[in-house]
Structure formats: structure tokens, C-alpha cells
């Protein structure tokens, strides 16, 4: 039974999983659209939305909190200068997922995660 076992492990230890999530979130914010497995997309979605909410605040403490997750200072700058003001009037729901289909190698379900109202 899975009592008191929350989240997904992805067959990785905690440090590897944290690094995976940081890189996926950074690339999502950099490109505003990524293709990944459905399980990974569902795992990073809440953290990515929290970072955009921090960017809407825009103060120095929010920048430092976002810097803990985002590994590239250029992406942090983009988050606070472009993405935060873009979603200022939006109350939430900054990302969407589209199912693409199974991956050829292992038939894992693949999705496209993108930011809502992204630039073309």
C-alpha cells in the first residue's frame, strides 16, 4: 500500500529529481513550449505556475526565491521582465498541456507543455 507516499520518484534519487525539475522548468520558461512525458509535465506544472506568480510580485525577495529554481540568470530576467507583466491580470492557469501520443521507443505518453498567451 502507498500510504503517506506522495509525488513521483521517476526512478531517481532526490537530488537527481530536483535537478531534472529545475532544468525542465528553466527550459519551459526559456522556450515557452517543451515536449516531455505526461508524468514529468504533471510534476513540474505546479512549480512553474508558482514561479510565474512570483514574477507577478516582482520584488527582490521574489527574484531570490525564483533564483533557487531557475538555473539561468537570463531566464530569470525574462521571467520578471516579460512573463510577469504579461500575466499580471491573469488569476492563474498559466500553462496548458496537449497530448501528442505515445513515444516511439517506449510508448510513454508524450505531451506538449506551453505557456498560455505565448508569443508565436
**Does residue 3 sit within a domain?**
no
Domain carrying residue 56: 14-115
**Can you give the CATH number for the domain in which 96 is found?**
3.90.1030.10
Q: How many independent structural domains does the chain possess? A: 1
Q: What residue spans of 58-97 are helical by DSSP H?
A: 60-67, 73-78, 84-86
**Does residue 106 sit within a domain?**
yes
**Does residue 8 sit within a domain?**
no
**Does residue 9 sit within a domain?**
no
**Does residue 87 sit within a domain?**
yes
- The answer to whether the beta carbons of residues 76 and 67 sit under 8 Å apart is yes
**Does residue 39 sit within a domain?**
yes
Residue-wise pLDDT tens for the chain (120 aa)? 989 998 889 999 999 999 999 999 999 999 999 999 999 999 999 999 999 999 999 999 999 999 999 999 999 999 999 999 999 999 999 999 999 999 999 999 999 999 998 876
What is the rounded distance in angstroms from the CA atom of residue 34 to the CA atom of residue 20? 14
Backbone angles phi, psi at 108, to 5 degrees: -75, 140
What is the rounded distance in angstroms from the CA atom of residue 94 to the CA atom of residue 82? 14
Please state the pTM of the whole predicted model.
0.93
Amino acid at each position: 500500500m502507498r500510504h503517506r507516499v506522495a509525488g513521483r520518484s521517476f526512478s531517481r534519487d532526490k537530488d537527481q529529481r530536483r535537478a531534472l525539475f529545475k532544468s525542465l522548468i528553466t527550459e519551459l520558461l526559456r522556450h515557452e513550449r517543451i515536449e516531455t512525458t505526461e508524468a514529468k509535465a504533471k510534476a513540474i506544472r505546479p512549480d512553474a505556475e508558482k514561479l510565474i506568480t512570483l514574477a507577478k510580485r516582482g520584488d527582490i525577495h521574489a527574484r531570490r526565491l525564483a533564483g533557487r529554481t531557475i538555473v539561468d540568470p537570463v531566464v530569470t530576467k525574462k521571467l520578471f521582465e516579460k512573463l510577469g507583466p504579461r500575466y499580471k491580470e491573469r488569476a492563474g492557469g498559466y500553462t496548458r498541456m496537449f497530448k501528442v501520443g505515445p513515444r516511439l521507443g517506449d510508448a510513454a505518453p508524450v505531451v506538449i507543455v506551453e505557456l498560455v498567451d505565448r508569443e508565436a
